[in-house]
Amino acid sequence: MRKFQISYFILGVLFILMALLAFRDPAGDLIALVIFFGMIALIKGFFELFYRKKMEEFTGSSKNWVIFMGIVDLLFGLILLFNIPLGLIALPFVFSFWFILDSIGALMIASKFQKVSNGYYYFMLAISIIGILVGLLLLFNPLSAALTLAFLVGFYFMMIGISFITAAF
C-alpha cells in the first residue's frame, strides 16, 4: 500500500484553486492570471525537477522527459512573470504548447499507472487526450482561444488538480 503523498496533494489543491480563479471571472484581469499561472508553472517545474528521481523509480521510465518538462515549465513561468506584455500576447500559444507537451508526457507514462489502478489509468488517458485537444484548439485558433482561455485553462487545471489529488492517495 502506498503512503499518502502530501506534495501531490498540495500541487492538486493549487491547480484546483487556480481553476476556480479562472472560472470565477473569465473576463477579469488577465495580468493577474498571467502572474498566477507563471508562479504555478515555476512551482510545477521545481516539483518536476525535485521529484524526478522518485518519478523514475515509480514509473520505471527515463527521467529525461521529466527533466525536460521541468525545464519547460520553469521557462514558461519565467516568461509569464518577467515579461507580462509578451505573456499576454503569447498566452494562448504558451498554454497550447504547455498542454500538448504535458499531455504527451502523461500519455508516455500512463501505462505505468495501470499497475496501481485501472480507474486512474483510464482517467489519465482521458485527461491527456482532452489536454492535447485543448492544446491544439489554442494553437490553431488563437483569437477564439484568447476569448475562451480562462474557461479552457480552468477546465484543464481542474482536471490536472483532480489527477494530482487522486495520485496522492
pLDDT tens digits, one per residue of 58-99: 666 667 777 888 899 899 899 888 988 888 777 778 778 888
Per-residue pLDDT at 147: 66
pTM above 0.75, yes or no: no
First to last CA, the chain: 10
Nearest in space to 23 (alpha carbons), one of 163, 156, 160: 156
In whole angstroms, give the CA distance from residue 14 to residue 68: 22
For residue 26, name the pLDDT band (cuts at 50, 70, 90).
Answer: low
Q: What is the pLDDT of residues 90-107, one digit of tens each?
A: 777 877 888 898 899 888
Contact 72, 98 (CB under 8 A): yes
